[in-house]
Amino acid sequence: MNGAEQSLDDQRSFGLADLPLREALRGRSPYGAPQLSAAVRLNVNENSYPLPDVVVDAVAKSVTGVLRELNRYPDRDAIGLREDLAAYLGHGLDASGVWAANGSNEVQQQLLQAFGGPERTALGFTPAYSMHPLLAAGTATGWVGARRDAGFGLSAHDAVAQVREHQPAVVFLCSPNNPTGTALPLEVVEAVAEAAPGIVVVDEAYAEFARAGTPSALTLLPRYPRLVVTRTMSKAFAFAGGRVGYLAAHPAVVDAIQLVRLPYHLSALTQAAARAALAHAPALLATVEAVKGQRDRIVGELRSAGIVTADSDANFVLFAVPGGGDQAALWRRLLDRGVLVRDVGLPGWLRVTAGTPEETTAFLDAVLAETAETAEAAEAAETAGADRVNGSANTTSPGGVS
């Protein structure tokens, strides 16, 4: 083998482990739900409805309007977009208390860059949104996975006790919580805001889907200057591909983010597209009630079939694998039936996004068929066991049933 071949071989065997990666990132997996092609994709909590024509036309016109000026950098402060987002949120907000970035993921990363970092910790109540600990790792912020109760609830008492114990620089509350779907009572947010020594972020990515009477933490902002509410256009607005997330907070928090944000982080195209979409907010949000209807249908029909589900204020439902089975196996079997749901790594549970009525029907048909097969298999196994006890060995394998 000559020297050139040797070095080509070296290059081929060179991998992640050979790079001088930061210790905190070694052995980690990138965030990512599998992007598989399935007939029915209900795994990443997107809005299943495409943009209505009126919005498509408005976005196209708005984006076309800035094309000639792409030789120039965009508005670095995205003032127009922030004004529009503040007007949408209401609660007396204006652009000074609103900040926007490429998805609420980037907003949360910026918050950790500004308020987390080495020798500081962030705390979240797991199971919650899996990006929170990943963003902490990426910003060299320590992570504390605090507990919820067995039913995934969180009381003010338990939340405050854990915040007091760990004294985190940043607390993440997720309401409605992903992956469980349930919104937090406002008194929990308030109790944490009182007790936390640093920034409290309430991730309200799914707020628009909350059941009636669920107040937003936006109502608390005037009283807690270290409280931050993050929102997104990816879910209710059906604008996940546009990549626009935002926060509402005291203007001082927005000032702090200016220290870490990249210059011109939001392209002129993104700003133009998002502003046109926001101008048609009612048309975009028109699907929210339909999605909530499918969400409630999933909860109702699963419960009627004896399948345990968490209460949902979001556009998805967390459900227990019937018969206490393995969630990875059921995930696979549903995919074999053309329905892609999400295995969030919670033993015995899977998460499904509420989509169109047709998608919901496909999901329910698949999961109920699987449940029936599991029940039949269990019954056959029981009969075989009873037969053996009675001395008449049954030669049919219960495995043959499914």
Q: Which residues of 363-392 are buried (b: 16+ CB within 10 A; e: fewer)?
A: bbebbbebbeebeebeebeeebeeeeeeee
Write down the least CB distance from residue 134 to ligand PLP, Å. 12
Binding ligand PLP (rule: CB under 6 A), the pick from 55, 205, 273, 339 is 205
In sequence order, the β-bridge partners of residue 147 are 126
Nearer to ligand PLP, 318 or 380 (CB): 318
Q: What are 88's two structure tokens?
A: 């949408």
Number of residues that bind ligand PLP (CB under 6 A): 13
Helical H runs in 90-214?
103-115, 131-138, 156-166, 186-195
Residues 32-51 within binding reach of ligand PLP (CB under 6 A): 45
What's the min distance (Å) between Cβ of 353 and ligand PLP? 10
274 touching ligand PLP, by CB under 6 A: no
Q: Which is nearer to ligand PLP, 141 or 232 (CB)?
A: 232
Sorted by sequence, the CB contacts under 8 Å of residue 355 that are 6+ apart come out as 40, 42, 48, 291, 294, 363
174 strand-pairing partners: 203
Interface region with ligand PLP, contact rule CB under 6 A, candidates 98-106, 143-151, 259-267, 358-366: 98-106
Which is nearer to ligand PLP, 229 or 254 (by Cβ)? 229
Q: In the numeric block, which tokens belong to residue 388?
A: 């053996």
CB burial of residue 10 (10 Å; 0-12, 13-18, 19+): exposed
Decide whether 93 or 202 has the Cβ nearer to ligand PLP. Answer: 202
- Using the contact rule CB under 6 A, the part of the chain among 35-43, 101-109, 303-311, 383-391 near ligand PLP is 101-109
- Minimum CB separation of residue 242 from ligand PLP in Å reads 9
Among residues 127 and 245, whose Cβ is nearest to ligand PLP? 245
Whether 69 and 62 have beta carbons less than 8 Å apart is answered as no
Nearest approach, Cβ of residue 46 and ligand PLP (Å):
9
One-letter amino acid for residue 46 of the chain? E
- What whole-number distance in Å separates Cα of residue 278 and Cα of residue 59? 10
Q: Exactly one of 47, 113, 139, 178 binds ligand PLP (CB under 6 A); which one?
A: 178
Residue in 277, 257, 271, 247 with CA at minimum distance from that of residue 73: 271
Place of tokens 């039936």: 337
CB of 240 to ligand PLP, least distance (A): 6
Query: How far apart are the C-alpha atoms of 107 and 230, rounded to whole Å?
Result: 8
Q: Which of 105, 109, 141, 374 lies at the binding interface for ligand PLP (CB under 6 A)?
A: 105
Q: Which is nearer to ligand PLP, 97 or 245 (CB)?
A: 245
158 burial (CB, 10 Å; 0-12 / 13-18 / 19+) is middle
Q: Cβ closer to ligand PLP: 84 or 203?
A: 203
**Nearest-angstrom CA–CA distance, 46 and 10:** 42
Minimum CB distance to ligand PLP smaller for 235 or for 333: 235
Q: Residues 174, 196, 318, 321: which binds ligand PLP (CB under 6 A)? A: 174
Taking the C-alpha atoms of residue 48 and residue 1, their distance in angstroms, rounded to an integer, is: 56
Of 203, 208, 359, 370, the one binding ligand PLP (CB under 6 A) is 203
- Residue 322 phi/psi, 5-degree rounding, is -55, 140
Distance CA 399, CA 380 (A): 9
* Interface with ligand PLP in residues 130-149 (CB under 6 A): none
In the complex, the smallest distance separating the C-beta of residue 376 from ligand PLP, rounded to whole angstroms, is 36
Residue 103 interacts with ligand PLP (CB under 6 A): yes or no: yes
Closer residue to ligand PLP (CB): 234 or 294: 234
State the binding string over 218-257 for ligand PLP (x if CB under 6 A, else -). Answer: --------------x-x-----x----x------------
| C-alpha dihedral sign at 210, 44, 351, 171 | negative
Residue placing its CB nearer to ligand PLP in the complex, 201 or 254: 201
Longest dimension (CA), the chain: 85
**Least separation, in Å, of the C-beta of 206 and ligand PLP?**
7
Comparing CB distances to ligand PLP, the nearer of 224 and 237 is 237
What is the distance, to the nearest Å, from the Cα of residue 40 to the centroid of all Cα atoms in its chain?
19
| Binding site residues, ligand PLP, CB under 6 A | 45, 103-105, 129, 174, 178, 203, 205, 232, 234, 240, 245
